Amino acid sequence: MYIVTGGAGLIGSNLVKALNGRGITDILVVDNLKNGVKFRNLADCDIKDYVDRLDFIARVKDGQSFGKIDAVVHEGACSSTTEWDGEFIMKNNFEYTKTLLHWCQEQKAQFIYASSASVYGMGPVFQEAREHERPLNMYAFSKFQFDQYLRQVKGSLTSQVCGLRYFNVYGPREQHKGSMSSVAFHFHHQILKGENVRLFEGTDGYGHGEQLRDFIHVEDAVRVKLWLLDHPDVSGIFNVGTGRAQSFNDVARAVVKYHGEGAIEYVPFPDHLKGRYQSYTQADISRLRAAGYDAPFMSVEEGVPKYLDWLTQHPA
């Protein structure tokens, strides 16, 4: 059995769908469906069972059996970067992940968990090393602290453990995220409403819309996960990005080109984001490549039209 926590979210549901594509349906999805619209991400997926996140961890702690576990892919977390209840964040993100790590070792199951590129803070170097890690909020700190914990215990591990530091993931099954959805999602809907595509004016020495991010299509992120599941001998903490930073203008132009209409409008940079905004991210993927992953990643020009095709076929 495969267990996917956060299985109704963006990356989790795409992983479930990809496992289905391999003929795998023996999947337990764990999530929090308080935001019930997330069910749509699983409506075309085939799974064995669903368990609420709190019920699941309680059953794990109680020693209840789930049968033979092949792998746990842990995507579930409170990902709000504005949540400052540190007690909640550390229990929900840090302690929860620690419990699953040790449980998977007991079960001799592969364990792949979501870390985050947010551990790097403002950068400017995005490489999996302690000297480059400067978390700026509780969410990032919870992810950073678990990575630190893993580094301490890695010598005693007997089955695969991988932490994946996602960069700017976009693609199908993210509609439930609302304001936290990708810029490609928002640009697409701005044009559908007859509005201009809106980008921030320049900041931190960058021109209007020229701030740079490492945008990775969710299909590419899922391919990395599938590769790791196929290579249980590979363990470690890995960046998951394309390795190439592209501008917000690149994303906007790709959306405008897809629709064949629309214009770009630059709006004043918000005061509350000054000094707290990542104007540049670019994953160093040399460690992932050294581990043997050699598949290419989609550029913005390739990935955005593919995503907009999906959005057109699956209107919210």
Residues marked as catalytic: 139, 177
Output phi, psi for 172, to 5 deg. Answer: -55, 150
* Strands 49-52 and 27-31, bridge-based pairing: parallel
Give which of 141, 167, 31 is closest to 83, Cα–Cα: 141
Nearest C-alpha neighbor of 15 from the set 175, 171, 143:
171
Q: Please answer whether residues 90 and 127 qualify as being in contact, where contact means their C-beta atoms are separated by less than 8 angstroms.
A: no
Residues 245, 282 contacting (CB under 8 angstroms)? yes
Residue 214, classed as helix, strand or coil, is: coil
Q: Which two tokens stand for residue 25?
A: 């349906």
According to DSSP, the β-strands at 110-114 and 71-74 are: parallel
In three-state secondary structure terms, 172 is coil
- Nearest in space to 29 (alpha carbons), one of 11, 51, 45: 51
CA 172 – CA 79 distance, rounded (Å): 18
Q: Both tokens of residue 300? A: 């913005």
H or E stretch covering 14 = helix 10-21
What are residue 29's DSSP bridge partners? Answer: 4, 50
Task: In whole angstroms, give the CA distance from residue 287 to residue 293.
Answer: 9
